A and B are shown apart, each in its own frame.
Chain A
Amino acid sequence: MDILVFTILIWLGSLVAGFLGSLTGLGGGVVIVPLLALVFGVDIRYAIGASLVSVIATSSGAAAAYVKEGFSNIRIGMFLEIATTLGALAGAFWAARLPTSTIAIIFGVILLYSAYLSGRQQRRRQEVDRPDPLATRLKMDGSYPTPHGLEHYHAHSVPSGFGLMFLAGSISGLLGIGSGAVKVLAMDQMMRIPFKVSTTTSNFMIGVTAAASAGVYLNRGYIDPGLAMPVMLGVLIGSLIGTHELVIAKTHRLRIIFIAIILLLAVEMIYNGLTKRI
C-alpha cells in the first residue's frame, strides 16, 4: 500500500468517524486513535497526535453554529478551562512517560466508560435551584432560550466541577480525545448546569483543551503532517455533514451501531495493550 492509497483510506475512515461522531454527539475523535492503531498499524503516539488535531478542528468548526443558538456560557467555559488546560499539560506529560501498552489499556477503559455514559438515560432533577455563593461571585449564573422564553439557571459545586474538569483535561491530553462526555458530566451532573448549556459549553472548551496538549505534542514531534492531513480533513468534513442532520430519522439506530463499534474497539485496545501488541 503506497502513501496515496494509505492517505485516501485514512481520509475515508476519518470521514465516517467524523460523520457518526457528530451525528450521535459522541465525537469522532474517540474512534480515530483505535482506527489508526488497530486497523492501520500506526504507532499510538502518531495516532494520538493526529487525533488531537482533528478534535481542535471539529470543536472550533462547530462552535460558530452553536453560538448562534445562545446556549453556551463563556464565563463558565473560561473558568473551567484553567482546570482542563492544566490537566491537558499533565496528560501530555504522562503520555511521554507511560509505555504505549498502558496508554492503550487506559484508552480502552475510557472508551468503555464513554459508551456507558452515552448509553445511559438522561435523568432530570427536580430540585430547588438556589444560587451558590461562589458561582455567583464568579458570575456563572446565566440564562438560555427555551420554547417558553428565557430560562435562568444557577451553577453549583464549583470546586468539585473544577476537579473533574482537571481529570477531563488529563484524559484529553493523554489520549488525544476531546473527552466531551466527562466535561458534560462535570457540568450537567455535578455543577447542575442545564444539559444544553453543558454540551455547547463543553464543545467550546474542547478546542482550547486540545490546543494545550497539541502544543506539547507538536514540540515533541508526535504530530506527523502526512498522517494528520487526511485525519483532520476527513473528520472535519464528516462532522460538518453530520451536523446538517441529513438522516434524522435513523439517528437512533446509527447511535446504537456507533456505540457497538466503540465497545468493540475498546475490547480490542485493552486486549492489544495486555498482550503488549501496541
Chain B
Amino acid sequence: MSKVKDTWTDQQVETIIGNLLRGGVILAAVVVFIGGVFYLFRYGSAYPDYRIFRGEPTDLRTAHGILADALSFRTRGVIQLGLLLLIATPVARVAFSIFAFLRQGDRTYVVVTLLVLTILLYSLFGGRS
C-alpha cells in the first residue's frame, strides 16, 4: 500500500501542472503590468516606431541582460523580465513532468521529457542563428 501512496496518479500530476502554469502566467502578467505602467509614464508621450525592423538592443535579448536591466528598474527591462517569466512557465512545466514521471517510475517518459526539455533549453540559450 505504501507504494501506492508514493506514486502520483496522472490526475494529481495534471492538477499540480495546471496550478503551476496558472501561477506562472499570473506572476508574469503582474510583472509585465507593473513594468508597463511605468513604461507608459516615462515614454507615453513619445512616438512609436515599429515600421522599420531594427531588433532589440543586446541587453533585452538574454536572460542575464534582462535581469540586470530589470534590477536597475529600466521599465522596458521589467516588462521583458515578465515576458521571460512567461516563456519560462511551459519550460518549468516540462521540468516538473520529469520529476513526476520519475516518481511514477515511467522511464520511457522520463527520457521523452528530458528530450523536450533539452530542445527548449537549447532554444532559450543556444538558438541564436
Contact = CB atoms under 8 A, between A and B. Distances in A.
Contacts, number: 208
Given A41-B50, A61-B22, A223-B80, A138 B108 contact: yes
B11 A43 contact: no
Nearest to A142: B10
B35 A229 contact: yes
Interface residues of B, number: 68
B109 A75 contact: yes
A187 interface: no
Q: Is the interface of A mostly helix, strand, loop or mixed?
A: helix
A226 B48 contact: yes
A56 interface: yes
14 contacts: A1-B48, A3-B47, A60-B25, A64-B18, A67-B15, A75-B109, A78-B109, A82-B116, A85-B120, A89-B127, A211-B87, A211-B88, A221-B61, A233-B32
B123 A88 contact: yes
B112 A82 contact: yes
Interface string A58-77: 01110111111010101100
B84 A208 contact: no
A93 interface: yes
A222 B127 CA distance: 13
A181 B128 CA distance: 28
Contacts of A139: 106, 108-109
A60 B123 contact: no
A229 B11 CA distance: 34
Residue with the greatest number of chain A CB neighbours at <10 A, chosen from B76, B83, B109, B115: B83
A218 interface: yes
A223 B33 CA distance: 16
A155 to B, nearest CB: 14
A56 B87 contact: yes
A230 interface: yes
A218 B61 contact: yes
Interface of B: 10-11, 13-15, 17-19, 21-22, 24-25, 28-29, 32-33, 35-36, 39-40, 43-48, 50-53, 55-58, 60-62, 76-77, 79-80, 83-84, 86-91, 93-94, 97, 106, 108-109, 112-113, 115-116, 119-120, 122-125, 127-129
Contact of B97 (A41, A74, A223): A74
A208 B93 contact: yes
Interface string A81-98: 110011011001100100
Interface of A: 1-4, 6-7, 36, 40-43, 45-46, 53, 56-57, 59-61, 63-68, 70, 72, 74-75, 78-79, 81-82, 85-86, 88-89, 92-93, 96, 138-139, 207-208, 210-216, 218-230, 232-233, 236
Contacts of B112: 78-79, 82
A225 B76 contact: yes
Contacts of B10: 74
A267 B21 CA distance: 36
A36 B48 CA distance: 13
A64 B124 contact: no
Given A4-B40, A226-B76, A229-B39, A61 B61 contact: no
Nearest to A52: B87
Contacts of B125: 215
Closest 10 CB pairs of A and B: A221-B55, A225-B79, A215-B123, A4-B44, A215-B124, A221-B56, A67-B18, A64-B22, A64-B18, A43-B53
